Amino acid sequence: MKPLVALVGRPNVGKSTLFNRIIKSKSALVDNFPGVTRDRIYRDAEWDGRKFTIVDTGGFISEDTDTFATTIRRQVEYAVQDADFIVLVLDGKSGISPFDRDPIEILRKTEKKVFYAVNKIDSPEQENQLFEFYALGMDLLYPVSGEHGFGVRSLLDDLTESLPDMSGVVEPTEIKIAVVGRPNAGKSSLINKILGEERMIVTDIPGTTRDAIDTKVCVNGKNYLFVDTAGIRRKSKVSKKIEKFSVIKALKSLDRCDTALIVIDSTEEVTEQDIKVAGHAFERKCSCIFLLNKWDLVEKDSRVLKRYMERLRYQAKFLNFAPVLSISALTGQRVHKIFNTVDDVYKQYTSRLGTGELNRIIGNATAQLEPPYHKGRRIKFLYATQPSSKPPTFVLFVNHPEAIHFSYERYLKNCIREAAGLDQTPVRIFFRKRQSRPGKK
């Protein structure tokens, strides 16, 4: 495990901006009003060959000044408890705040090494703004600018000097899983149930999760990375700027994940927005699993699940290969089955077929149902190959690729699925015309 570094501090001191500077990406949402970051956001980072994980936390609030103050405070305390090193971020532009003293008192009681960074110091000429912060009793302060990068090198040099050398450590493979769905479908509750702790802030207020939150977990010796995302609303329902960014980041999280857990509120009918969320996952080539959450609240008879699945399959025909689980994030009903299903789907999603086996499958398929004629000439399949997986992708070389009808393409996909055991993963086929070799016509 990489050492864990936690960024803490009161709201709007620039923790997320500094976080983005350190990881060299705009992963954390940034805006100029307090409380944008609520959950903990984890990302891997590296400085001068030293690898570590850094966590951005919600602003530390001493008093219950908003709905989420108590839960944010708890999130910060969890992060400090888990971290190996801590960076307390102070606001060099606004100066000392009464709310700075509370986290300082808490950090003085920890045995972990704490670095004190005064942010928003954009140049050497502004370093005199540090002087008042020495009244808080720290021996060493780091003037930094998360926005412009000033002083960040000095902070990271001293921080990484304290870290163990991880250069020879091989990181284990992990399955990346995006948890997506409409607002208030129970995505964060599901991850909290999986982890057995309140890692994500959960309320009945739609849109509580604003960022895409990474959470690592190891089950039965296998590593998983869960990405909890903001609820994806219809465009017409997205008004605030921060909500728009949240939806964009939710969609981007699908680009870096292997599997999408599409969480649906089963106390309601399958909605058009549920299908759109599923379509986003499919378009980004994720393997998919439908989770019918809140199943404990559904009044059941012997045919309820069958009817619900029939409606889902009808509306999401493009994901007819995706497994469906009925679960309850609240009670934990069938949540344990998610990992086995993810493992089965991931095995297919990453599978590769040998060229010989693939060509035998295509040969048998075309012999059983010959392709149609094109302008009086038979379409000939010359050979096939699999250039990539995630998902399994096949290229078939034919004499007239433009003449392949979508129904015959679907037939070939089904043949590959059946013969290779790829019934729970997306499969892609591309048709190409074989290039003539030099000197040949």
**Residue 247: which of 212, 204, 208, 223 has the closest Cα?**
212
Dihedral pair phi/psi, residue 217, rounded to 5°:
-150, 145
Q: What is the pLDDT of residues 393-426, one digit of tens each?
A: 999 999 989 989 999 999 999 999 999 999 999 9
Options 2.40.50.140, 3.30.390.30, 1.10.3720.10, 3.30.300.20; CATH for 355-433 is: 3.30.300.20
Q: What is the pLDDT of residues 10-56, one digit of tens each?
A: 888 888 889 989 988 765 444 444 343 434 677 888 898 888 888 88
Specify the higher pLDDT residue, 165 or 342.
342
Domains of the chain: which residue ranges? Answer: 4-161, 174-349, 355-433
Q: How far apart are CA 410 and CA 305, in angstroms?
A: 28
Under 8 Å between Cβ of 180 and 254: yes
Same fold for the pair 4-161 and 174-349: yes
Specify the higher pLDDT residue, 316 or 167.
316
Structure tokens at 141: 């302060």
Give percent of the chain with pLDDT exceeding 70. 79
**What is the average pLDDT value for the chain, to the nearest integer?**
81
* pLDDT score of 345: 97
Under 8 Å between Cβ of 317 and 354: no
**pLDDT score of 221 more than 90:** no
CATH class for the domain made up of 4-161: alpha beta
Specify the higher pLDDT residue, 245 or 305.
305
Q: Is 385 exposed, middle or buried (0-12, 13-18, 19+ CB in 10 A)?
A: middle
**pLDDT score of 241 more than 80:** no
What CATH number does the domain located at 174-349 have?
Answer: 3.40.50.300
* pLDDT score of 416: 97
Q: What is the pLDDT of residues 106-157, one digit of tens each?
A: 788 888 899 999 999 999 999 888 888 998 888 899 999 999 999 999 999 9
Least confident of 36-50, 75-89, 250-264: 36-50
* pLDDT score of 207: 40
**pLDDT score of 359 more than 60:** yes
